[in-house]
Chain A
Amino acid sequence: MKITPLGDSALIVRSDEESDDAPERTLREVLATKSAIERARIRGVLECASAYTTVAVFFDPTDAIAQGARPDGVMEWFESHVREAIASSGPKGAPSPARQFEVPTCCEGEFALDLKDVAVSARLTEREVIDLYCATDFQVRCIGFTPGFPYLTGLPEKLFTPRRPIPRTKIAAGSVAIGGGQAGIYPTVSPGGWNVIGRTPWRLFNPEENPPALLRAGDSVRFKSIVRAEFDALHEKSRPRQS
């Protein structure tokens, strides 16, 4: 495990493993590292956030100095507390089982802007693309880009599709998309360059709720193809809970 500074007010804990070799083990290790640091309640640490193979730890350097760290030893002060927190978290017991979500997705008409392009690039029919996509077990590796946007890994190589050369300025909320070797869901209207193959009626981000995001790193996601009538019925309904 390596720890490197991220500017003067944060550091990044890096997992030893490459994400491609053992993605699931890396994900579990990263989540365990994050929770160990959070549980240690290190003074001056403001928050932690995981992303793929790393955990970022955000802190207030002046808090370390107030506790006796020398100004030229602040990074080392936080680093040693973080290492201690990880070391003393003990053997990682059985990880809590991943939450499972089945995301209803309609791949019809204007919801599936780029389904045709994905099918052409995969040399499959549009139906085959949807079937393959909906038979895939995805994992949330990171939430980012916009609030609540899940980066999903697990996409079958056949469906890898390069990002669009010119990003769209407006992608509808709920759009389910493929970007390179990853999949994602746009929680809110935003610009974006991924290939949109469907839309979910679910609301993935709601700042009025706690937590505001439906998904978090570590969750398992599958997509379920629904027809337009089901989409309309589910749309605007109360927010789904984990199954």
Chain B
Amino acid sequence: MQLTVARAGFLTTVQDTGRAGFRELGVSPGGALDVHGMRVVNLLAGNPETAAGLEITSGNVRFQFPDSRVVAWVGGEYDVSATGLSVPAGRPALLHAQEELSFAGPSRGCRAWLAISGGLDVPVVLASRSSDVRAGFGGWHGRALRDGDVLPLGKNPALSAALIRSLQGARIAPWTAPFEWASPAERSPVLRIVRGNDWDRFTEASRRAFLSVKFVVSPESDRMGARLEGPLLERKNDTELVSEAVVPGTVQVPPGGRAILLLGDCQTVGGYPKLAHVITCDLPRAAQLCPGEQVWFCEVSMAEAHLLLSERTRALETFKIGLSLRR
């Protein structure tokens, strides 16, 4: 069974929860920029959490379905609809054969993630189905989708098949994912950070500015990182640093003083000083930064970062139990 991409939009790629184990060889973790969101949509569609879905980055995107499938999406404020049916974020919806699902937007935020029951059955390359578009492998022939692409779909898992039966009448499930998971995009978000290893190398004025002045996301932003325009962040001296690991969420500052917030397709190592790191819990909101958006940063302790993450993990477990009771 195959999914037809009638309109591929600006940048639509196959992504799953990412590629672990190859950083040592320079391979980015990649995957959905909102890994948590990807897990949530898969669970809603009855898939294993790590199934491959689609990451949509603005524009008009349309898919045609070969047979009955449960779909679910989360992300920025997109208008998502299927023949006469509006599909809200975070709720499973039933699509029939030959039906078309369309995304338009976003009016807020940047990206959306779509799971289709059965998942996209593209080959696993280096332990993941994610597209590494920069390196040109994984996903669908290592590239973004184009109009007319036809992608293989896996078989509906038993959970999805049961959902398909139960959604025959209403088509949209009455239950929903928590609002902040379904719609993480905010206007002028405040992202929480912990200090980076090179925090103390920056002048006090720059550190203060970083935590008290808004930054604007530059148009030269992509899946590797969001470039930020704002106060120039200066170091006390220009000592050259030995390159070391960077991670999604790292805020690095190249000479010139303009910060870059790294995202999932970032390089594995970098030689620029690391001022801060956006906490893991806030990466879904970081993934919603679109060019022109304003963003603020505020500091939290490491303990708070871990507490927030452990609360979210617990909430996801509860969410899974809730879903299993509804079937």
Contact = CB atoms under 8 A, between A and B. Distances in A.
A77 B261 CA distance: 27
Interface string A208-241: 1001110011000000000000000000000000
A6 B247 contact: yes
B27 interface: yes
B211 interface: no
Interface stretch (B129-137, B143-151, B153-161, B180-188): B129-137
Interface in B84-123: none
Interface string A53-73: 110101001100100000111
B24 A143 contact: yes
Interface in A5-63: 5-10, 12, 19, 34, 46-54, 56, 58, 61-62
Contacts of B135: 146-147, 188, 205, 207
Contacts of A48: 24
Interface stretch (B58-66, B229-237, B301-309): B301-309
Contacts of A7: 194, 196, 247, 249-250, 277-280
Interface in B208-256: 242-247, 249-250
A165 B269 CA distance: 22
B126 A212 contact: yes
A147 B27 contact: yes
A19 B242 contact: yes
B269 A142 contact: yes
Contacts of B303: 71-74
Given A46-B20, A58-B23, A212-B27, A144 B243 contact: yes
Contacts of A183: none
A58 B27 CA distance: 14
B267 A8 contact: no
B174 interface: no
A56 B136 contact: no
Contacts of B269: 51, 142, 144-145
B25 interface: yes
A148 interface: yes
**Residues of A contacting B: mostly:** mixed
Contacts of B302: 5, 8, 72, 74-75
Nearest to B28: A147
Contacts of A6: 197, 245-247, 250, 274, 277
Given A7-B247, A12-B197, A56-B245, A65 B277 contact: no
A149 interface: yes
Contacts of B126: 207, 212
B271 to A, nearest CB: 9
B277 A8 contact: yes
Contacts of A88: none
Interface residues of A, number: 48
Contact of B307 (A72, A142, A151): A72
Interface residue tally of chain B, by bracket?
35 or more
Interface in B263-295: 267-269, 274, 277-280
Nearest to B279: A8
Nearest to B248: A7
Contacts of B306: 8, 61, 65, 71-72, 74-75
Interface string A74-118: 110000000000000000000000000000000000000000000
Given A5-B302, A7-B279, A47-B21, A143 B243 contact: no
A27 to B, nearest CB: 12
Given A51-B243, A52-B243, A148-B25, A4 B197 contact: yes
A43 to B, nearest CB: 15
Interface in A176-196: 188, 190
B162 interface: no
Contacts of A49: 23-24, 245, 268
28 contacts: A4-B197, A6-B247, A7-B194, A7-B247, A7-B250, A7-B277, A8-B194, A8-B280, A12-B197, A12-B245, A47-B20, A47-B21, A48-B24, A51-B269, A52-B243, A58-B23, A62-B310, A71-B306, A72-B302, A72-B306, A74-B303, A144-B268, A145-B26, A146-B135, A151-B243, A188-B135, A205-B26, A207-B138
Interface of A: 4-10, 12, 19, 34, 46-54, 56, 58, 61-62, 65, 71-75, 142-149, 151, 188, 190, 205, 207-208, 211-213, 216-217
Going nearest first, the 8 A-B pairs with the smallest beta carbon separation are A7-B277, A56-B245, A72-B303, A144-B269, A8-B305, A213-B25, A207-B137, A49-B23
Given A190-B134, A207-B138, 19 more contacts: A6-B197, A7-B280, A8-B194, A8-B302, A8-B309, A51-B243, A51-B244, A51-B268, A56-B23, A56-B244, A61-B310, A65-B313, A71-B303, A74-B303, A205-B25, A205-B26, A207-B125, A212-B126, A216-B24
